[in-house]
Structure formats: structure tokens, C-alpha cells
Chain A
Amino acid sequence: AQSVTQLGSHVSVSEGALVLLRCNYSSSVPPYLFWYVQYPNQGLQLLLKYTSAATLVKGINGFEAEFKKSETSFHLTKPSAHMRDAAEYFCAVRTGTASKLTFGTGTRLQVTL
């Protein structure tokens, strides 16, 4: 069975500081991993995805994530937070040929001045 765990339901950073949102996955087969972001009153928007082509994946809005098989992690980072990054971030995993995405519980990012 596939699953993801997002550590920290709320993360607060200062504007300009490093953003680190944690995601660990559990899968018995090579996973496909995704980060989605949800801004207030909007849908889930894809930030980036891991497809085994490269372990460091760059996404939109300056975000990136690194797949670490040894740590079963796919943490999301951004070097310098901006106020507009305040949103809820979801990590998700899919394995095999099934279409189902399994999501984490989400991390709400707050960016302060």
C-alpha cells in the first residue's frame, strides 16, 4: 500500500527565509511523487512531480524537491519565501498503473514580514 506523511501541519517562516516542507512516502514499488499547492479559494495546483528521470525536480514559483530513496523522502524547498507563497501544500504519491493519488494531510505555510 502507498502512503505519504507530511510532518508539520503548520509551518511559519519569515519572508526571505528558507522554506522546507517535509514529505515521507511509503511504497513497495518505485513511486511517482507530486507536490500540489492550494491558494485560498482555488483548486489544487501542481507544483512539481517526480517521475524517476532526475532526483532533483524543479517546479513552478521557485520551488524544488529532491527524491531521496534511502530516506523515503521528497521534501519541498524554496530558498527564499515570499508572501505570495502562503498557502496549503499537499504531497501525493501514486504507484503502478492505478490512477489513484494518495495524499498527505497537507502543510499550511505562513509567511511573515
Chain B
Amino acid sequence: EPEVTQTPSHQVTQMGQEVILRCVPISNHLYFYWYRQILGQKVEFLVSFYNNEISEKSEIFDDRFSVERPDGSNFTLKIRSTKLEDSAMYFCASSEVGGGGANVLTFGAGSRLTVL
């Protein structure tokens, strides 16, 4: 069964450093997403991406965050000047169709980011 793969599974970084989390979405999917879950809290939407553009983003997704699809298979989340509060599990997701309704997202296993 097709799956979304994420690397690394766990990354530890010093506050102020830059991190890049990588995702390989399902090959025929065109819509990509990042969510995150701070320990003990809700899974929160960060950003959705289609046709090389951000289509929607949350207030969490400030100017330290960026997303990119550098080639035909990868989808990356970059966080600059990391803060302690960026520590969370980051989930990548993709979908065949976009928009609302019953559109189903397929999620990866997550990348745990720890900022010290």
C-alpha cells in the first residue's frame, strides 16, 4: 500500500538553528500538508501546498517556516531560528484531491523535533 515517508524520525537541534524535515508524498498525490503535535496537545494544521504554492496556512506558520517541493518527489518543511516551543511531532500528509469535503489525507509516521 502506498505510504508517505518522513525523515528523519527524530531530530535534536539547538535553539536558533535551522532544521529541514523531509517528506516523500504518495507519487500520484498533488496536495501536500504539514501538521504538528506538541506533546499532550492537539494535532494542529500548519500549511497546505498545491501547484508549488501555499494554498492555506495557520497562524503557527510564521515567517520562520517555509515549505518547498524541490523536485518531483520531496516536500520539505524548513524552520529557521528554531525556538524551544517548536519542539513537536511534525506530520506530513498528502492527498489525491484538494479542498474540503470528504477529501482524505494520508499521513506519514512523523518526525519528532526536539529543540534544546
Contact = CB atoms under 8 A, between A and B. Distances in A.
Do A and B bind? yes
Interface size class of A (residues with CB under 8 A): 20 to 34
Given A43-B4, A43-B107, A51-B102, A100 B43 contact: no
B31 A99 contact: yes
A34 B106 CA distance: 12
Given A43-B107, A99-B48, A49 B56 contact: no
B7 to A, nearest CB: 13
Contacts, number: 71
Interface in A54-110: 90, 92, 94-106
Nearest to B6: A43
A100 B46 CA distance: 9
A59 B48 CA distance: 26
Interface residues of B, number: 33
Contacts of A44: 43, 91, 93, 105, 107
A41 B109 contact: yes
Nearest to B57: A100
Interface in B23-82: 31, 33, 35, 40-45, 48, 55-56, 58
Interface of B: 3-4, 6, 9, 31, 33, 35, 40-45, 48, 55-56, 58, 91, 93, 95, 98-110
Given A49-B104, A99-B48, 7 more contacts: A32-B102, A43-B110, A45-B107, A94-B103, A98-B56, A100-B56, A105-B40
Instruction: Report, nearest first, the 7 A-B pairs whose CB atoms are least far apart.
Output: A44-B107, A103-B43, A43-B107, A51-B102, A97-B100, A100-B45, A43-B109
